[in-house]
Every structure is written in C-alpha cells, then in structure tokens.
C-alpha cells in the first residue's frame, strides 16, 4: 500500500498583479498646434471683432474639429514574438494579394511569394475623424524610406496605392523580419510627414509619421504572417494586432 501522507499538491500558478488604467485627455500633436491657433484666431476675429455670430459659431466648431484631428493619445502596445501591430487608426478597407511595389523590392527590399510573386497587403483607411498619427508596426531599424509624388484621389479606392502621393517605409526587426508599410495621401490630405529617418531605431508602436487630412496606410505582410483582422474592422494604431506569424488561416467573420 502506497504511503500518500507526504504527497504535496503543487501550488496554483500565481495570478497576475491587478492593474488599472485611467482615461487621459489626448494632447494635441505639436504639428497641429499652429492650425488650432489659426482656427481659434479666426473664430475670435469673426465672432468678437466683426460680430458675425453665425460665422463665429461655425469657426468655433471647425476649431474643435481641428483640435480633435491632431489629437495624439497614448496607446498601450502589445509586445510579443511574431506580432505586427497596426500602424494606423481606421477601418480595414482591403485585404488582398498584390504585386510587391517596386519601391519595396530590389536589393535590401522585401521578399514576395516565390511561386506567385505576390504579398498580402492590409489597407487601413483613416477618415477625417480618426487619429492620424502613424506608428511603427514592429520594433527595429528603419531600413528604407521612399517618397513618391502623385495624385490625391479618394484613398478608399484601390488605385490609390499606385496613383496617390505616398511614402514607403521598411522596418527590419532584430530577427531579420522586414515589414513594409506605406502612408498614402487622400482626397483631402495634402501633406505626408515623417518623424524618423533611415537608420533610426524604433520601438513597436512608436510614432513615425502623420498625414493631413484623411488618408490610408498599406501594410505588406512578410511571408509566414497571416492577417488577424477582417475587412470592415476598426483598428487602433499601436494597439490592434494586425498580423501574426504562424497563424493557420485567415480570420472569418461578418458585419452586423
């Protein structure tokens, strides 16, 4: 007969330390402060100096919108192996197999599927009410930045990836994984800005650029990565897991 008197039960795994978070009012990015100041100045001129009440209230509304457009909220970014984080706020307007843009190909560029010559592109459309600060999808070194002048057609259209003014980035992680993404100007957007340069080291979720006013960001997934979002889904820059390495298949879902 076995003696069980000395048998001990292993302790249960430790629970995570409780944490909490509080809402913080977003600050206005420095690039937008001058636009807010101009809008407020015009509001004061029309509403108080010239006493055009209707125009003054209209400009007051526009001033609030300009301040909201350039808001720069803090984000809590997931960390982990094999994750690609959304670089943009907005709606996933397209997930497609496309030919790799020549700006991301060539020596030191990205690799496409050897059989089809294509890559998976996830496109996130930002309307004029979304946060327009773009963030790094992975941690690593900015290996390439390429600016391409172009048109200003609706960024929600597929041809915007080829016709519109845009700026390509390649970020290479410590494990050699390279992710390409592209800022695309839209119908109203008239300027693409970047806060980083080639050779800079960036953390995942770090701010890398800004687009004025309404635009789109395309992300080109490396081989072996699968989209973790659906067309029509909303993404949060620096927080939403856009793709994952080794995921077995594309997600399925429905709009309702």
Which residues are tagged catalytic? 215
- The tally of CA atoms less than 13 A away on the side-chain side of residue 189 is 35
Contact between 202 and 170 (Cβ < 8 Å): no
What is d(CA 140, CA 16) in angstroms, rounded to the nearest whole number?
29
| Sheet with strand 234-235: strands edge to edge | 201-202, 140-148, 166-172, 178-185, 215-221, 118-126, 90-99, 234-235
- Would you say the C-alpha torsion 19, 82, 125, 136 has a positive or negative sign? positive
For 26, phi and psi rounded to 5 degrees? Answer: -60, 145
No. of helices (H) and no. of strands (E), the chain: 3, 16
């Amino acid at each position: 007969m076995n003696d069980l008197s000395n048998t001990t039960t292993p302790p249960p795994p430790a629970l995570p330390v409780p944490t909490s978070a509080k809402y913080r009012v977003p600050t206005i990015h420095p690039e937008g402060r001058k636009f807010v100041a101009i809008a407020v100045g015009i509001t004061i001129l029309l509403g108080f100096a010239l006493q055009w009440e209707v125009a003054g209230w209209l400009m007051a509304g526009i001033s609030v919108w300009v301040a909201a457009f350039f808001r720069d909220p803090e984000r809590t970014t997931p960390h982990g192996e094999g994750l690609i984080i959304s670089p943009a706020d907005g709606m996933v307007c397209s997930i497609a197999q496309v030919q790799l843009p020549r700006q991301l190909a060539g020596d030191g560029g990205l690799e496409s599927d050897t059989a089809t010559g294509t890559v998976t592109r996830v496109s996130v459309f930002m309307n004029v009410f979304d946060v327009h600060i773009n963030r790094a999808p992975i941690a690593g070194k900015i290996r390439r930045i390429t600016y391409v002048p172009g048109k200003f057609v609706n960024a929600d259209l597929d041809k915007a990836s080829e016709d519109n003014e845009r700026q390509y980035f390649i970020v290479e992680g410590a494990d050699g994984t390279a992710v390409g993404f592209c800022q695309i100007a839209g119908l109203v957007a008239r300027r693409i800005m970047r806060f980083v340069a080639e050779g800079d080291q960036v953390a995942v979720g770090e701010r890398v650029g800004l687009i004025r006013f309404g635009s789109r960001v395309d992300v080109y997934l490396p081989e072996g990565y699968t989209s973790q979002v659906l067309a029509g889904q909303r993404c949060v820059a620096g927080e939403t897991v856009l793709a994952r390495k080794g995921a077995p298949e594309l997600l399925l879902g429905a709009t309702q």
